[in-house]
Structures are given as C-alpha cells and as structure tokens.
Structure 1
C-alpha cells in the first residue's frame, strides 16, 4: 500500500515515519523546499525522542520519501492524509485555510479513486468543507473521479509520540462509506493484530471525539490547579489530596498533578476552538470557559510567589530558571507557562538566566536578548537570587542540592511542578515554595508526625 501525507510538521512526520516503520510506502509532502531537502538528508526540524533515527532508517529502506510535489505523490496513492496546521484565528476558531488548500489541490491532481483523510485537528463539520472543496475542483476540470473523505484524528503526546502511534490506546476513524472503512481497516491491520482497538463511527463524531478528549484532559488539569490554590489558602496539602482522589477508580491518577498550567500545541488551541464551535451553534460551554480562565490565571501563580518573596520589588534581582518547554521531552514552547512567567519577570526589572535541555534555540525566537541562556543547569544558578522550576525534566528531579545552595545568593526555590518534597527541602536549608501547599502547615504536620 502507498499513502501520501501532506504536511511535514509534528503530526505529519510522526505519522509518516511510523507508517513506514510497519512496512507501508509513504510519501510526505510539504511546500517548504528547505525543510524537504533537509528531511531527505535525515535532518529533522523538531525534537521528538527516536523520531530522527526512525526517519533515517526508513529513508534508507526506501519506504519513506519526501517531496514538494503533491501531483507526483498522488500517483498510485490510495490514501491521502491531511496533516497541516490549524492555528487559532483571532476569535479562537481553528483556521482551516491550509486544510482546505490541500483539499483543493487533491481535487486538482487526483486521477483515480482517492480517500482523503483529515489527520489534523479540525472542528466538527470540516469534512463537509473538505468534500465540497474537492468536488468544486473536479467540476472545474469537468471530470468525475470517485473519492471519499474520512476523519482519523491523532492522539499523540509530545515526547512519547512514537509509542502513542505504534501502541495506541485506540484508533478513531470516521468514515462515510464501506470502501473507505475497508481501506483504513487494511491500513491499520498490523496495529489491530497487536490488540489495539479501532473504533469506527460517523465522521462528525470522530471530529468531535478529538476535541472532547483534549477538553476533558484540560478540564482535569484546571480543576486540580483550582483545588491546589484553595488547598494553599486553607492549609491542606494538594499532594495528599491528589493521592486521595486519584485512588478512586472513577477519577484515576492521570492529569491530576497541580502545576503552573497547561500549554503546547493542542490543549489551549482545542479548548478555544471547541468554545468557538459552541458559540457558532448558539451554545455556551460554561465549564470549558472556566477551564481556560483558570489555566490563564495559573500561569501567573509562580510569578506572584516570587514577587511576594522579594517584598514586591524584583528590580535588580537575578532569577534562574530551569525548564522552558511546556512539558519534558520536547522543545515545543507554544503556549508554555514560561512565556508568561519570563516576560513578567523581565518587565518587573529582573535579570533572568535560563537553562533547558533542548528548548534553548526555540527560546531565543521568543525572548531574543532580553534574557541570558546557559548550556549547563548549575552555571545558570551563579549569583542568582532564587531558582524557579518551570518544566519537570528528569535531570532536575535529583540535583546536587549542596551545589545549588552554594551557587544561589539566596537559598530559595520556586517549584512550579511540585517535584520536590517540602519537608526535605526545608531540612536542606531552602526557602521552598510549590503549588497547592501551605509551607507552614506542611512543616507543622511533619513535625507532629515525627514526634508521634
């Protein structure tokens, strides 16, 4: 089987590489000539563990190819995946211009039956627009070529995308005909043989499933952050609360870790797009509006803790930061809490020194020369007045605290991801602040436990 994937960004590259890994012939198409030339050489434009090696391996085996010509790629391709970006418009709705342009191009160049599948995250009803765009181009050519459209949303976690693709919790497919369903069932046969379920449904439901899944996960995060803020006020420990509710099978222990808000390319964009879809259909998604509001507020919580610690004045203070990407194992900084926190620190007159294992190059696009960048986590601490942790990279979890203490002017740590234990940090001489824990109450509770 030969397939074409249009769009060589995060989703397109992972999809193309993984399909080629299971023996399918894949052509990835992108309009960016420089990107395509680099990919032909095995130079990957994004950081995703294992992706570069997989791409090189399948390039060498001839199962994966890169091109700028959709017309050439469509020859002998039974399935075309649309994997281009759907950035948010000013009103929060998903911008479909790239998706619809690919649909038009398919209509221009297809010469035999083709199944056009949206892999990009798109609002409910996009399949109808895609179908109309293809049909319009066929009419302009005055030809009748059979085709189908389908929806096959991605559920990839950055940093674990290859595992998510090759070992999916489920494969969601929205198909409009038996022929389309049969093709996609054949494409995913090697996955279903390994026990991974494939769920077929109508296209509108498949499109909605993607948004509903991300909205539910975002809701769990914002709910837990809201609870964390209340815990801190009343003297409860959100880490204990998390364990208590996470043991309930109806709730589960995933996505209930408090922090400084969610970011990335999916949750913020998809929540906004779903709210917009509801508005266009005269419905008010009250819960999701609150989810978004809580998340935006949460991105400033750690900044305010730092300001309060220095009595409201950051002028001339030096703040060291570990972690800039929105999550570990990626260099993605889209909607990352660090974007808000760092900018607010700079605006308040602080000097900011940053370290991230992979996101430094990306950070320079956002912050320019307003901050100082380091390639060593300890070097960033020299003469800093405190340390703030914004991303829970593994290398930050067990640092040499003796070195940290010696390098900082003030032994103060602001932990936006709750990766350290409050009592242990106090024992080591740090002023320690995290999310959802009242430090004084926590110390009293630990003291009572040690006495009893």
Structure 2
C-alpha cells in the first residue's frame, strides 16, 4: 500500500519505518529541511534501539522516502498519517496548530479519495476539527467534501521499545466515522494492519471520539499507578517498610499486576506529563474536575525532589564543597529524551545549593547538555559546577556520593568495592532502587533508596504514637476492634 506519514519525529519516524518494513511504500514528509537532509544521508534525529537499521534497510530498498515536498507527499499516499507534535500549550492543553496545518496542507493538495489518520496524541474532538479544516480547503477549490474520511489511530509506543511495540502490538485502536467514506476508510485500515492480525485479532474498532479518549485514558492510568507507588514508597520510608516487598506483594494480585509499580523519582518524557495535563484541561473545558489526575500531577512534581530531600537530610541544605556523581540523565533508559526528566530538577537543585556534579549517561549526554544549559540560562555561572564525563567511573572519581537517576542496564552490577574506595562519604542515593540495601551495608556503603527504610532504619517504630500503645494489662484485641 502507498502511505504518507507527515512528521518525522518520534511517532512519525517509527510509524513510517515500521510500515515500510512490512512492505508498504512510505513517503515521510517534514517541513524541517535539516532533519530530512539528515535522514537522507543515513542519520537519525532520535535514539531508539533498532530504528536506524530499519530506516537504512528500507531506504536502500526504495520503500522509504524522506522529503519536504508537500504536494508530492499528498499525491503519494492513499492513507495520510498525521504524526506531528502536539506540545503542551501555556494552559496545559495540547497545542493543535501543527495538526491543523497538516490537515490544511492535505486539503489544499488532494485530488483523490484520502484517509487522513490522526496518529498524534490529540484531544477528543480533533477528528471533527480536522474534517472541518479539510472540508474548508476542498470547498475553496470547488471539490466535494465527501472525498475523504478522518480516522483516529492513537499510538501506544514506549520510548526505548517503540519498534518492538509497533511490530508486535498488544492492541491496535481504530476509530472511524459511520458514513460511506468512513466504511471505506475502515476497510483500508483493516488492509494496512492485516499483517498484525494473522494469529489473532488485535484491532479494536470504535467511534472516533472513543479512540481519541482511549489514548489519554491509557497514559493517565499508567501515570496514576506510578504516582500511587511513589506515595506508598514515601510512606514506607516513614513506617519502616520496604517498597520492593510491597510491590511484589500487591503485584502478585492478578487484578493489579506488576507493570508500572516501581517507585522512583517520578515519571517524565513526552507522553505522561503532557497527556495527563491535557486530559485535565479537556475535563475542565467540559466543566468536570478530575481530582485524581490533579493529584497524580502534584505527586509526580513532588517526587522529582525526593532525592534532594534525602541528600539534604543527611548532608544539610548547604552542599558547598560537596561533589556528586550522577548516573543517568534521560528520563528512562534506551532513549536520549530529556523532556520532563527528573535529572533536570535534581541537577539544578544541587548546583543552586553549591554542589558540583559529575554527570554521565550512555546516550543522552549531548541532549542533556543542550537542555540543561537552557534550564540554567537564568544563573549560567552555576554551570561551572557541572561536568559531563566520559564513563561512570570518571563520575565517581573525587565524588562524595553517588546519585542514580536512570536505570540503565550498565549501572546494575558495578564494582562496589571500587565504588567504596572512590566515594569519599561512601553514600549512594538510588532513585531507581537498583541495588540490594543489605548487601551494600555489608560492604560498608550507606544506601538510601526510595521506600527502602526497613533496611538500616534507626528506629522503624518511631512513627508509632507511644500514647496509644496498649499496656501489659490491656487486652490487645481492643485496639484492633475500635
């Protein structure tokens, strides 16, 4: 099939490359000439495992084309995917200008029946707006408005595993209109995705607005699980429990499961923060207050400061003269994405408290330098305290303590004996709970995870109100039946 993908960002490039891998002829359009030039000369603008190999292979086969030619892109594809950015606006809503600009471009150039697919994460009702915009452009040209149909086909790609998610999806959601054009669009989409349904049906067909809401609801649910576990982890620190034991205990319940139950420094990236905020805004516009999601956002923002709280509780608020090794800059492993990354909050706080930071990330170094220099534009003089180093061991040399922010695999089994020799204070502040606290204590290292207070807590029962403990003469059961 002939497919056009508008936008060569994260979603667009993965979508285009993977559809070409399935044998389709894919035309990828972007208005950024520099990005298109990079792609045409063997470069990749994002880091995603396995993506470059697929792009190179299908470009060589002639199944994948990159261009800035709008008219050619519209003429090429019977199916036109809109996969442009929908960044958060100032009020938290999704900025739709790029989606609507793409729709207008299609309307200005199309001459035959087209299926326009909203692949970008868009608010409920976007398909109606796209339909209106294209119809307006066709009316200006005196063409019938029945010659197209708009489909919602949200993406469910995890950064770091996007190629695998696309090629082996657990579900495909397609929202179509119910008129004749919508039925024709449904058949084209069924044909496009038929390779994924050979063993069993993975596609869920529904109305357009339900498909649009499904994407937001899915990300909001996952974000909620993360914030819930972070709240429980903070409570575990107070009551002397181990969040890892709690995670295993509740995750074994088939109704709950283990996914997205890891405590840490909060979620980041391009999806969860933006989509939770946008869903809240959609609800507000409908006169509804989503109290749960407002709390999810608030908890996540607080959680980005959790390691700073642990550090200052041990070393004081003034960290002048202290040097910290920091492992991990990207918001998650297997990506160079620094959007909403907790490392940005942590580094700024450390620098403002007078500390020096020696930071390492196996992939995100260059992107981290770019965004951190922007973050610190108001106090650029503090950047002299920040150093990006070539490997994890370089970060440890001369440091007082280690901070772990991203759970890259190469951080999982370090040389702890060497680490003890290099860290002046022998402290590890682990924002991803990578290590066994008891093992590190045996080695003489001080370990501070998130929700791991049961290991080495001075008084795990300090939270108990002593005035309400039963005396030796009181029957215990009275305190459990009240």
Any idea what SS the aligned residue of 1:305 has? helix
Q: Equivalent of 1:334, from 339, 361, 364? A: 339
- The answer to whether the 8 A contact 1:171-1:196 is kept is no
Structure 2 Cα separation of the partners of residues 440 and 257 of structure 1: 18
- The answer to whether the 8 A contact 2:4-2:76 is kept is no
Q: Corresponding residue for 1:56?
A: 56
- The answer to whether the 8 A contact 1:175-1:203 is kept is yes
Gap change, CA 1:202 and 1:233, over 3 Å in 2:
same
Segments of structure 2 that go 5 or more residues without pairing to the other structure are 374-382, 461-482
Any idea what SS the aligned residue of 1:331 has? coil
Gap change, CA 1:108 and 1:431, over 3 Å in 2:
same
Q: Corresponding residue for 2:363?
A: 358
Q: Equivalent of 1:229, from 225, 231, 234? A: 234
Q: Corresponding residue for 1:46?
A: 46
Structure 2 Cα separation of the partners of residues 364 and 335 of structure 1: 14
Structure with higher Rg: it is 2
Q: Corresponding residue for 1:175?
A: 176
Q: Corresponding residue for 2:157?
A: 156
Structure 2 Cα separation of the partners of residues 38 and 359 of structure 1: 19
The count of aligned residue pairs is 445
CA shift, 1:194, in A, is 3.8
CA shift, 1:124, in A, is 0.4
Structure 2 Cα separation of the partners of residues 97 and 194 of structure 1: 39
CA shift, 1:439, in A, is 4.9
Once the two structures are superposed, what CA deviation does each residue of 1:293-342 show, in whole Å capped at 9, x if it has no partner? 00000000001111111122201211110001000000001001001111
CA shift, 1:366, in A, is 1.8
Any idea what SS the aligned residue of 1:199 has? strand
Structure 2 Cα separation of the partners of residues 40 and 88 of structure 1: 30
Structure 1 Cα separation of the partners of residues 97 and 438 of structure 2: 53
Over aligned residue pairs, what C-alpha RMSD do you find? 1.2
- Asked whether 1:419 is paired with 2:434, we answer yes
Q: Equivalent of 1:373, from 385, 388, 395? A: 388
Once the two structures are superposed, what CA deviation does each residue of 1:416-435 show, in whole Å capped at 9, x if it has no partner? 00010110110111110000
TM score, norm. by length of structure 2: 0.91
CA shift, 1:33, in A, is 0.6
Q: Corresponding residue for 1:386?
A: 401
Any idea what SS the aligned residue of 2:47 has? coil
Q: Corresponding residue for 1:99?
A: 99
- The answer to whether the 8 A contact 1:14-1:162 is kept is yes
CA shift, 1:41, in A, is 1.6
Q: Equivalent of 2:419, from 381, 404, 408? A: 404
Q: Equivalent of 1:287, from 284, 292, 301? A: 292
Any idea what SS the aligned residue of 1:75 has? helix
Following TM superposition, the consecutive aligned residue runs of length 4 or more in structure 1 with deviations greater than 3 angstroms are 439-445
TM score, norm. by length of structure 1: 0.97
- The answer to whether the 8 A contact 1:412-1:432 is kept is yes
